[in-house]
Amino acid sequence: MNKHMDLKTIVLLGRTFEEYYNMFDLNNEMLKNEIILDAGSGVSSFCAEANSKGFNVTASDKIYYLSPDEIENKCVEDLEIVMEQMPADLYEWDFYKDIRST
């Protein structure tokens, strides 16, 4: 199996609020009175989820010049490319328990 990913372009893969919360060791006290800019946010759901929880987050990414349908199509294509190349044995699967649960 190939032990690396050979990506020719930037791929659109989003992260959730829970992923960011854990990845950056965030907490509610830290976020509650802040104005947060999620720069380069891509297709992450962090902004939408954070705002639904009462936090003040704005997402920004140059991909937003595309229509929602174009973004969706790129996400589907990118996910296929990544899943074909994913060297599952090189990653720690603590958050997601296996490659199929991503």
Interval 17-48: pLDDT, tens: 998 998 899 999 999 999 999 998 888 999 99
The total domain count for the chain is: 1
Q: How many Cβ atoms are within 10 Å of 42's Cβ, its own excluded?
A: 19
Question: pTM for the complete prediction?
Answer: 0.70
Separation between Cα atoms, residue 72 and residue 98, nearest integer Å: 24
Examine residue 23 and state whether it is found in any structural domain, yes or no. Answer: yes
Q: In this predicted model, what pLDDT tens digit does every residue of 70-96 receive, in sequence order?
A: 999 988 888 888 877 776 666 666 776
Separation between Cα atoms, residue 92 and residue 29, nearest integer Å: 29
Q: Do 1 and 85 form a contact (C-beta atoms < 8 A)?
A: no
- Residues comprising the chain, all counted: 102
Examine residue 56 and state whether it is found in any structural domain, yes or no. Answer: yes
**Which residue range is the domain that position 72 belongs to?**
17-83
Examine residue 98 and state whether it is found in any structural domain, yes or no. Answer: no
Residue 97 three-state SS: coil
Examine residue 93 and state whether it is found in any structural domain, yes or no. Answer: no
Examine residue 51 and state whether it is found in any structural domain, yes or no. Answer: yes
